[in-house]
Amino acid sequence: MAEELDIPPFMHIRVIEARGLASADINGLSDPYATLQLSNSKEIVRSKTINETLEPQWKFDHTFMLPDSASALDELDLLIRVYDEDTLNADDFLGGCKFIVTDFLRHQVVSGWFELRKENWKKVAKGKIHILVAFGDEKLKFDQRTRMLDGYQTKLDFMLMKLPNKNKGGKKKISKKKKPTALQ
């Protein structure tokens, strides 16, 4: 049940990189940047643009404050979108991912590659994005935690590659016993 869950105040996202992105410029490349948004907010944060590549390395970190009510958290999605920056025209959307935040929370730390999807989130777009998500009580611990967690990445990758495709309908209940304990 959702009441069993300890809700940490902060969710840290690192958008590490992407590969295999669509080319959206006449030179056969793109100028990719990534944006992050929580579904309960209009605020959008964005990475820097990496020019002329289909394999951007952003290493972009952002911390979100989470709602402190379990019901608000149940409804919360994280939206990641990747665009090609253009100067003369509107930027081209290359693909995005939509994640249910409570799925992340169940695992405490998430690291993996995820397929980008088209605007309705259903059809697969070109490319994958590599992200890391961790939770914490303080804003400043992300880098420490990231280093500490690098060794767990392979195991987590396997577990988490399935995340974007599940939860199409119906809400998941959070169960405390599903939390991994090794990362505490």
Query: Which range in 6-14, 42-50, 83-91, 175-183 contacts Ca ion by CB under 5 A?
Result: 83-91
How deeply is 134 buried, as exposed, middle or buried, from its count of CB atoms within 10 A (0-12, 13-18, 19+)?
A: buried
Give the number of residues in contact with Ca ion, rule: CB under 5 A: 6
Distance of alpha carbon 157 from alpha carbon 149, whole angstroms: 12
52 binds Ca ion (CB under 5 A): no
Q: For residues 30 and 84, is the Cβ–Cβ distance under 8 A?
A: yes
| Shortest distance in whole angstroms from residue 15 CB to Ca ion | 19
Distance CA 77, CA 65 (A): 13
**Interaction between residue 24 and Ca ion (CB under 5 A):** yes
Q: Rule CB under 5 A: say whether 13 interacts with Ca ion.
A: no
Closest separation between CB of residue 119 and Ca ion, Å?
16
- With the C-alpha atoms ordered 39, 112, 85, 139, is the resulting torsion angle positive or negative? positive
Pick the piece of the chain touching Ca ion (CB under 5 A) from 29-37, 65-73, 127-135, 151-159. 29-37
Position 29 contacts Ca ion (CB under 5 A): no
Sign of CA dihedral 158, 105, 45, 151: negative
- Chain residues binding Ca ion by CB under 5 A are 24-25, 31, 84, 86, 92
